[in-house]
Chains A and B, each alone.
Chain A
Amino acid sequence: MNKRRKIIEKIFLIYLPLTVMMLFVLIPFVWALVTSFKTPEAITGTEISLLPHPAVFDNYIKVWKTNKFSTYFINSLLVCTAALIVIVLCSVLNGYALARFNFKGKKLFMLLLIGTQLMPVIILIIPLFVIFKQIGLINTRWSLIVFYIAMQIPFNSILMKGFVSGIPVSIEEAAWVDGAGRVKTMLLVVFPSLLPGIVATGAFAFVSCWNEFMISFSFITSQDLFTIPVALKYMIGEYTIDYGSLAAGSIIALIPPVCLFAYIQKYLISGLGAGAVKG
């Protein structure tokens, strides 16, 4: 009797709401994937098919070659990777300084890190456009790289501070006793133990840069330099939208962040709990 009640309770309190929630979360992904393999006739036809038949790969070939997603993919990859290297480097330095030193102005620096994250990008677009234009950065990859670095340093530094705090000071002290200096200790002792944190931070930074739209949309004008989000935006700006290509382009754009998310996910819960802020 009691056992039966428990099972019923579990169904109504856990499995039923969970199923609804999972359908809500997953259907958009599944439907985009299904659509990306359909022919144009199957997409516009009234017959709903949950599995594409015939399943074709044409949309991917078209979006990759004709819509030049091969170029945009490389553009995104170049910009994100270049930014990522500097972001990780700066975050390690900031994180170490924040976790291991007490210095005057530490609070002010934290205020700068948190304050810049609350700032809407949109306010910055106008003055940055004017400034970047004066120094000839507009419509170059550098404009994006420089901005992405600045945009990502605050969150990743706070995240890195948490990772550095997790390494026991005693192992550093042991190295000092052996006569190693701060810098040598950092390179030989701290850096290796920090590796998982560095990979997590790098993944976070990459996903955020990969997804960025507003700055890329505002600063890049020549099509050859478009990043993937901007290219997708222009695909729906066209008069007749090719939904098959759109779905295929979306799936291509989704692959890197979703794959990296699998790795980030386990750090996400503890990382956000540690007081790092980022939506």
Chain B
Amino acid sequence: MGKKKLKDRSLPYLMILPSVILLLGIFGYPILKVFMLSLQNYNYADYANKGFAGLENFRKIFTEDTVIKESLVFSLKWVVSEVGLQLVFGMILALILNARFKGRGAVRALALIPWAVSGVLTTMLWMLILNQSIGLVNQLLIRFGSMPGEVPAWLANTGLIFPSIVVIELWRGIPFFAITLLAAMQGIPSDVYEACDIDGAGKTARFRYITLPYLKETIVLTTLLRAIWEFNSTDMIFTLTNGGPVNMTTTLPIYMLKTAVVSGNYGYGSALGVIAFVILLVFAVLYMKASRFGGEDNE
């Protein structure tokens, strides 16, 4: 009996061991390495002077670099507009999908498909819609009387690029919000609504006084989580605009990617990474707090 107990005690550790080693190797050690690299001059264009540089990279970032400011401002604008709009439209979609109507099962499955589409494929699908010369939108505009030479360049015009990429990312982001909100809505006990019906409350009152309070926790968690992901997301913008026109759509991660992977300046890119890490840490701590991770019970 005692032997079995001892075996039982070490068993969970044996089970998680491979994953712990892998996660520490692929996530833990590299994070330490980013901090080390950020203090180095490590640039393929200046390889002769490779070596320890102290806080030189950070000095440059805070005093000379203008792109970092632009990218931080754009990142903020991007995260706020995406998360805000995804929440509003995700809520509308979830409310509709939670109502009773014919063909609801099929509609649910179809409406949520963009969730499974990658950032790169989103770029491809929307290029075919918004491309200036062959895109569906401009073809329709020409059909309804616009001159072929005057149709807007949705993906190149400096005034149109922001709304364009916001709509594209919404296409992919709304389903996630809708799915999580729908799951939470299904957890609301139906007798609460029935009591509300007896009291003669209207649809707006039902939403305001029952649905919304029940969904509060889900809304807070999903919003924080989504903010982190939108901040981190790079695939769609990078493949669609490459951060342009004139750095207009360069988020901090895209700036990092272009500095390190495209231009080969690993030291400076790592310093940018450290800054991104610190910003995310704040969000991550907020998320952990909101999900009551430190509490008694995390089931």
The reply to whether A250 and B121 form a contact with Cβ atoms under 8 Å apart is yes
* A18 CA to B12 CA, complexed, in Å: 48
A195 at the interface (CB under 8 A from B): no
Whether A22 pairs with B120 at a CB distance below 8 angstroms is no
In the complex, chain A residues whose CB is within 8 Å of the CB of B66: none
Q: Would A233 and B239 count as touching, CB distance under 8 A? A: yes
Question: How distant is the Cα of A125 from the Cα of B125 in the complex, in angstroms?
Answer: 27
The distance in angstroms between the C-alpha atoms of A232 and B31, with both chains bound, is: 30
Contact string against B for A residues 237-279, beta-carbon threshold 8 Å, 1 for contact and 0 otherwise: 0000001001101100110011011101100111011010101
Q: Mark B206-230, 1 if CB is under 8 A from A, else 0.
A: 0000000000000000000110110
A110 at the interface (CB under 8 A from B): yes
Binds B, one of A54-62, A66-74, A94-102, A167-175: A94-102
- Are A246 and B33 neighbours in the complex by a CB distance under 8 Å? no
Task: Tell me the interface secondary structure of chain A in the complex.
Answer: helix
Question: Which B residues, 280 to 298, have Cβ-Cβ distances below 8 Å to chain A?
Answer: 280, 283-284, 287-288, 291, 293, 298
Check A272/B269 contact, CB under 8 A, given A22-B107, A123-B31, A150-B27. no
**Residues of the B chain whose Cβ atoms lie less than 8 Å from the Cβ of A112:** 20, 23
For the A-B complex, the count of residue pairs with Cβ-Cβ distances under 8 Å equals 263
Contact with A along B107-145 (1 / 0, CB 8 A): 111111111111111011111110101101001101100
A277 near B225: Cβ-Cβ < 8 Å: yes
Instruction: Please measure, in the bound complex, the distance between the C-alpha atom of A129 and the C-alpha atom of B256, giving whole angstroms.
Output: 14
What sequence of 0s and 1s flags, for each residue 16-33 of chain B, a beta carbon within 8 Å of any chain A beta carbon?
A: 101110110111011101
Q: Say whether, besides A43-B134, A213-B235, A254 and B121 are in contact (CB < 8 Å).
A: yes
Q: Tally A residues with Cβ within 8 Å of B.
A: 98
In the complex, residue of chain B having the shortest beta-carbon distance to the beta carbon of A243: B134
Chain B residues with CB under 8 Å of A31's CB are 125, 128-129, 136
Q: Give the chain A neighbours of B232 by CB distance below 8 A.
A: 120-122
Asked if A269 meets B186 with Cβ closer than 8 Å, knowing A121-B232, A131-B29, A157-B19, the reply is yes
A119→B280 contact, CB < 8 A: yes
Which B residues touch A146, using CB under 8 A? 22, 26
**A177 interfacial by beta-carbon distance below 8 Å:** no
Cross-chain contact A269 with B260 (CB below 8 angstroms): no
When C-beta atoms are compared, the residue in chain A nearest to B240 turns out to be A236
How far apart are the CA atoms of A243 and B130 in the complex, in Å?
13
**Chain B residue at minimum C-beta to C-beta distance from A157:** B19
In-complex Cβ contact of A214 among B124, B134, B143, B234 (8 A): B234
Query: Given contacts A110-B298, A122-B234, is CB(A94)–CB(B15) below 8 Å?
Result: yes
The reply to whether A125 and B261 form a contact with Cβ atoms under 8 Å apart is yes
Q: In the complex, A120→B293 CA distance in Å?
A: 21
Chain A contacts of B26 at CB under 8 A?
124, 128, 146-147, 150-151
Q: Within 8 Å CB of B126, what residues of A?
A: 28
Please judge, given known A-B contacts A96-B15, A246-B128, whether A118 and B37 are in contact too, CB under 8 Å: no
- Which chain B positions have C-beta within 8 A of A116? 23, 27
Given A28-B128, A114-B288, A246-B127; A17-B92 close (CB under 8 Å): yes
Q: Confirm or deny: B64 has a beta carbon within 8 angstroms of a beta carbon on chain A.
A: no
Q: In the complex, how many angstroms separate the beta carbon of A207 from the nearest chain B beta carbon? A: 6
Does A15 make an interface contact (CB < 8 A)? yes
Give me the interface of A with B, judged by CB distance under 8 Å: 10, 13-15, 17-18, 21-22, 24-29, 31-32, 35, 43-44, 46, 48, 90, 93-94, 96-97, 100-101, 103, 105-107, 109-116, 118-131, 146-147, 149-151, 153-154, 157, 181-182, 207, 210-214, 217-218, 229, 232-233, 236, 243, 246-247, 249-250, 253-254, 257-258, 260-262, 264-265, 268-270, 272-273, 275, 277, 279
- 15 of the cross-chain contacts (CB-CB < 8 Å) are A22-B110, A43-B134, A94-B15, A101-B12, A113-B23, A118-B283, A119-B31, A122-B234, A123-B34, A213-B235, A214-B235, A236-B127, A250-B124, A268-B115, A275-B291
Instruction: Knowing that A28-B129, A93-B15, A250-B121 touch, tell me 13 more A-B residue pairs with CB under 8 angstroms.
Output: A14-B101, A21-B111, A93-B18, A93-B19, A121-B232, A127-B34, A150-B23, A150-B25, A210-B118, A232-B120, A243-B127, A261-B112, A273-B186
Chain B residues within 8 Å of A, Cβ to Cβ: 4, 7-9, 11-13, 15-16, 18-20, 22-23, 25-27, 29-31, 33-34, 37, 92-93, 96, 99, 101, 107-121, 123-129, 131, 133-134, 136, 139-140, 142-143, 148, 171, 176, 179-180, 182-184, 186-187, 203, 225-226, 228-229, 231-232, 234-235, 239, 253, 256-257, 260-261, 266, 269-270, 273, 276-277, 280, 283-284, 287-288, 291, 293, 298
